[in-house]
Structure 1
Amino acid sequence: MGHMNISRRNFAAGLAGTFALGALGIAGCSGEDNADASGSGAASGTTYKIGVLQLTQHAALDAANEGFIAALDDSGISYDADQQNASNDQNACQTIAQTFANDGCDLILAIGTPAAQAVLGATTDIPVIGTAITDFAASGLVDSNDAPGGNLTGTSDMNPVADQMKLLEELVPDAKHVGLLFCTSESNSEIQVSMAEEELDAAGIGHERYTVSSSNEIQSVVEAMVGQVDAIYAPTDNTISAAMAQVASIANAAGVPTICGEVGEVEAGGLASVSINYYELGYSAGEMAVQILTEDADPAEMPIVTMSADECDLVYNQETADELGIDVSAIVEQGAEDVSA
């Protein structure tokens, strides 16, 4: 997993300028302003136009983006990739998606569920790969995860929620009441929270949902919840992930540990996670894209790819553990990696 952390940070730094453009000055899928990267030795002589719509900037989505680009590079195809970031704005998602559709991209990568929903609203013809999406079918993106049926397929970041709840029990054994923190506009977050509730019910642990509709509400909601709960669970929610440093600052100061949906949230100050490897998730999405571009694979017939439990990473933040006074030696013995700065 070490390579993922290093490459993700390099990627985030290297493309920060591109992402900062957000929906401004959208170049479309071709032209000199593209984030241009080309593989070598493309037998067909074709340079593919690929639009990349990333919902927002945070470590998990950045890593998925980087993995996707790495797979394209490793395949040897020639391509122009137009990187666009919507800054967690649904209107920007729709504008970018429509621009990609109008420009006649050969393929579009949508990173995050709202990004994929916007792209599907813009085109039913251009092949679309989605990634960092928990449940494609439950979010209405495909007919079924086994047989998508349309122009979109991709890779799922369905979380090992049961393992994450066991981790919470192990690290916070006295927890009687858990706060579940997520954004109401993200359907995949509610799926994960429902799964967490089932696990907590089975363990006899109380729980309560704490929701925000935008990042502006995070501070007040977290400040309210830390006086009411013994621990917080934050799923792979894009709004929460992007503001995890703020969440962790408030929670840690109040002595309330946060069990997270993914490694980037732990790096930002959460306590621990059993995390999907988002670089590998994006790499698998890139491999699917190459099949579509070079082998005429049909997204309608390509099942959604889900990572197995043994491909997940057990991670913790030692600085956070020290601040909270929590003993993490048990998970260190299990091979957990410290991802604190």
Structure 2
Amino acid sequence: MQHSFLRTPLTLLAIALAAIATPGHAADKSVAVTAIVEHKALDSVRDGVKDELKSAGFDAGKSLKYEYQSAQGNTGTAAQIARKYVGDRPDVIVAIATPSAQAVVAATKDIPVVYSAVTDPVAAKLVKTWDASGTNVTGVSDMSPLEKHLELIKRVVPGAKRVGVIYSPGEANSVSIIEALKKAMAPAGMTLVEGAAARTVDVASAAQSLVGKVDVIYAPTDNNVMSAFEGIVKVAQQAKIPVVAADTDAVNRGAVAALGLNYYDIGRQTGKIVVRILKGEAAGKIASQTSTTFELHVNPAAALKQGVTLSDELVKSAKVVVK
């Protein structure tokens, strides 16, 4: 059967576009990145991902179509961003922090999703186990070494018994940490006193609610808490309660000490997974990963303002001493 083709301008345009879009060219690849909120730790993850992509030859704006959007702390906005990205059909979606990852995973079952800076991906229902998921989801966890954090608390406040923890009850990541802390504290001879902060604006009042009830305040890797950390420090200085954190950036902002992950390194680790997927590997065949590199940061001046003196041994063992 013979066909006759009428070459309209639209047909010619389609032919021209097909000629430009040669299969397998790096420029055909696209990565969409989203985070629940912007603060230093999550921004470092984003930058690490971008730098790792660039070092692998996927340069944003040149050999890679790249987009980034922050949900500004709003889970409804996170869901909107997730739906937009799914509609755009990128090759990989990178979701930074638990609420953004949950929104993206709920929105697609086929586009590869790489989560990052999610404390407990199993508790957050992103994957069923830590093994290769067999689905479209994999990523890198920022699981905190809670036993080591309790040891650090004892090094800062040797007689500490009551530990106040400020957290977001609506964030699966934070609830998971609270449950794990309860189990870890009993053998350490400590009790946990909860200071729930549903929103960023509630963080300072949650800190105030702990005054007179705790020997030390522990700030976990909670996005609300880190977004409003200065409010905790203000209360801690007035009440002379030392603050120990899980995020090393908190030490520059007034925490006494923190044993935390390098979030830029987590970003690079996440970026390596994204590159593997861009090169053809299936997300479901890549097991979820954790980071094992922890750094101790201390702030002796903040300690004095919060009523404690750090031992010389603790200061000497720190990777970073904030002056």
Normalising by structure 2, we get a TM-score of 0.88
Of 90, 98, 112, the match for 2:75: 90
In structure 2, distance between residues paired with 1:154 and 1:314 = 25
Q: CA deviation at 1:338?
A: 1.6
Equivalent residue number for residue 104 of structure 2: 119
Q: Which amino acid aligns with 1:331?
A: L
Does residue 44 in structure 1 map to residue 25 in structure 2?
yes
In structure 1, distance between residues paired with 2:64 and 2:26 = 10
Of 317, 320, 323, the match for 1:337: 320
**Alpha-carbon RMSD:** 1.6
Does residue 251 in structure 1 map to residue 233 in structure 2?
no
Structure 2 gap segments, 5+ residues each: 1-23
Of 27, 42, 58, the match for 2:39: 58
Equivalent residue number for residue 295 of structure 2: 313
Number of equivalent positions: 296
CA shift digits 1:9-42 (9 cap, x unpaired):
xxxxxxxxxxxxxxxxxxxxxxxxxxxxxxxxxx
Q: CA deviation at 1:327?
A: 2.4
In structure 2, distance between residues paired with 1:289 and 1:236 = 24
Of 182, 203, 215, the match for 1:218: 203
Structure 1 gap segments, 5+ residues each: 1-42
Q: CA deviation at 1:301?
A: 1.3
Of 280, 284, 295, the match for 1:300: 284
Greater shift, 195-204 or 76-85, is seen at 195-204
Equivalent residue number for residue 19 of structure 2: none
In structure 2, distance between residues paired with 1:301 and 1:190 = 28
In the alignment, is the contact (CA less than 8 A) between 2:233 and 2:243 conserved in 1? yes
Q: Which amino acid aligns with 1:195?
A: A
Q: Percent identity?
A: 31
Of 258, 266, 269, the match for 1:281: 266
Alignment of 1:261-276 (within 5 A): 261-276=246-261
Does residue 206 in structure 1 map to residue 172 in structure 2?
no
Equivalent residue number for residue 139 of structure 1: 124
Q: CA deviation at 1:229?
A: 0.9
Q: CA deviation at 1:206?
A: 2.4
In structure 1, distance between residues paired with 2:26 and 2:247 = 39
CA shift digits 1:236-276 (9 cap, x unpaired):
01110111111111112211111111112222211111101
In the alignment, is the contact (CA less than 8 A) between 1:231 and 1:258 conserved in 2? yes
Partner of 1:137: helix, strand, or coil? coil
Alignment of 1:5-16 (within 5 A): none
Of 99, 122, 135, the match for 1:150: 135
Q: CA deviation at 1:219?
A: 2.1
Q: Which amino acid aligns with 2:136?
A: N
Equivalent residue number for residue 12 of structure 2: none
- Answer with 1 or 2: which has the greater Rg: 2
Partner of 2:29: helix, strand, or coil? strand
Q: CA deviation at 1:145?
A: 1.1
Equivalent residue number for residue 323 of structure 1: 305
Does residue 229 in structure 1 map to residue 214 in structure 2?
yes
In structure 2, distance between residues paired with 1:194 and 1:118 = 23
In structure 1, distance between residues paired with 2:264 and 2:85 = 24
Equivalent residue number for residue 145 of structure 2: 160
Q: Which amino acid aligns with 1:50?
A: V
Q: CA deviation at 1:45?
A: 4.2
Q: Which amino acid aligns with 2:72?
A: S
Q: CA deviation at 1:331?
A: 1.3
Q: Which amino acid aligns with 1:312?
A: F
Equivalent residue number for residue 70 of structure 1: 51
In structure 1, distance between residues paired with 2:306 and 2:232 = 14
In structure 1, distance between residues paired with 2:206 and 2:291 = 32
In the alignment, is the contact (CA less than 8 A) between 1:142 and 1:149 conserved in 2? no
Q: CA deviation at 1:318?
A: 2.7
In the alignment, is the contact (CA less than 8 A) between 2:236 and 2:306 conserved in 1? no
CA shift digits 1:134-154 (9 cap, x unpaired):
111121001211122211111
Partner of 2:287: helix, strand, or coil? coil
Q: Which amino acid aligns with 2:320?
A: E
Of 264, 269, 275, the match for 1:290: 275
In the alignment, is the contact (CA less than 8 A) between 1:106 and 1:293 conserved in 2? yes
In the alignment, is the contact (CA less than 8 A) between 1:162 and 1:195 conserved in 2? no
Q: Which amino acid aligns with 2:286?
A: M
In structure 2, distance between residues paired with 1:68 and 1:255 = 39
Partner of 2:64: helix, strand, or coil? strand
